[in-house]
Amino acid sequence: MPGLAPASLLYSLPMFLKRFFEPKLAQASYMIGCAETHEAIVIDPNRDPEPYLKAAAAEGARITHVTETHIHADFVSGSRELAAKTGATMYLSDEGGADWTYAFAGADRATLVKNGHRLKVGNILIDVLHTPGHTPEHVSFVVTDSAGASEPIGVATGDFIFVGDVGRPDLLEKAAHVAGTMETSAKTLYRSLVEFAKRPDWLQIWPGHGAGSACGKGISAIPQSTLGYERRFNWAFQCKSEDEFVKAVLRGQPDPPKYFAEMKRINKEGPRVLGGFARPPHLDSAALSRVVQSGALVIDLRKANAYALGHIPGTVNIPQNASFTTYAGWLVPFDREFYLIGDSMDVETAARDLAMIGLDRIAGATDTRAVDEWSATSGRGLGTVPQIESTDLAESLRHGGATLVDVRNDNEWSAGHIAGARHIPLGHLLDRLAEVPRNKPVILQCQGGGRSAICASLLLAHGFEHVSNLRGGIAGWVEHGLPVVTRAAST
């Protein structure tokens, strides 16, 4: 219909608000601008500046302010990247004490802000609100369109309040390894929520993550909400006491990916400014052979079934799909170079995805023809990953002929697992290889067969000889009418 604003424009003139969402990170960022002065601020940008630059150009605006709600744990902040590209001033939290100060703030001439500070972006007033609990330095940004209102319209809440959930307070202990902080942070988060709940019902909530993020345990896929709605339906606001909240918020949190600790360090010290995502240098067949023989990490981006049918021995399969970033963050080291095998588009996408979480040491890449040509160029055969059926697995377990390794997370394991399985979650497999016997066949299993396929490639790359993947995972096992046990039943 004529006159309707684009779906991405969440509020009309004189203020504009655009939400950006990075699906593989389940991460949201926001551009808020003044149509009169053509100034804009970007809150919580990721490492790819192009979407923000294109959006600003479409609005006829210039990005003058760049900020973030906290030192992120799940992606590399793009504040430095975007500020370098646009000349915008960075505004960074000065809350939380010396341990939570941005080390690069002085060198980058960033402005440090505390609770109560106000930023002006044309006619838009943005008040800094200290909202600790997820992290000590966390701030939220209260937005008022002063051209048409005297009270705030909404709050960019970062990882403080999500739709249907709140930011987890256990990451300092579980990911950043700051011992003994979970309960203290949970109590702090509760106090922040109690204080924030006093604000008006109409206040819009613009959170920093959507469904799929490991920064919460039950985040809704709905992109935004209001404080009134969250007060009524978000579980965190239903808790009647601090003790009840602390127990509830710490219960059932997913295991944070290993790379979260690295993100905290990178974002505190200052991410490297890339200036764009460069395509990795080409790796010819002779160089690929030398790389594989050297024991370097080579990631095959193809789908699991293609890898299972034939792959270059020693390579690791992490398929380029919606979960690629998460699994790469668990398994790819930050302190060494690595290589990629994949179609041109997959390699480009993977390079961008990896850079988003700081894995930008890609030393080379080759296309999938290298797999087809491997035998001819190297004189060695391709490897395979046999797929085992649930009924065959049941028979093998009855006779003790194989070791079954369940690579799902703790919550999945507790909900039901195959009797006799060893539980080693995907992200911990490399650290616990010694727990997997080498003297008999190993069968990997997850929920549907995807994660276990990755783990099968890891074991093969580390010298295990008889490795299979359970076709269909535990879901297929259950479909065959085979039994599972819960943690309660097995203890």
Residue 298 near residue 316 (C-beta atoms within 8 A): yes
Q: Which of 419, 415, 399, 393 is nearest to 473 (CA)?
A: 393
CA–CA separation, 26 and 487 (whole Å): 30
Contact 43, 155 (CB under 8 A): no
Q: Which residues contact 201 (CB under 8 A, 6 or more apart)?
A: 226, 227, 228, 231
Q: Which of 34, 215, 446, 455 is catalytic?
A: 446
239 catalytic? Reply is no
Place of tokens 């793009």: 78
Residue 319 is encoded by which pair of tokens? 């398929």
Structure tokens belonging to residue 286: 């002779």
Residues 6+ apart with CB under 8 A from 298: 288, 291, 292, 312, 314, 315, 316, 338, 339, 340, 341
CB 363 within 8 A of CB 278: no
Q: How many Cβ atoms sit within 10 Å of the Cβ of residue 398?
A: 9
**Structure tokens given for 429:** 């497999």
The three-point CA angle 268-45-215 to 5° equals: 70
Active-site residue list = 446
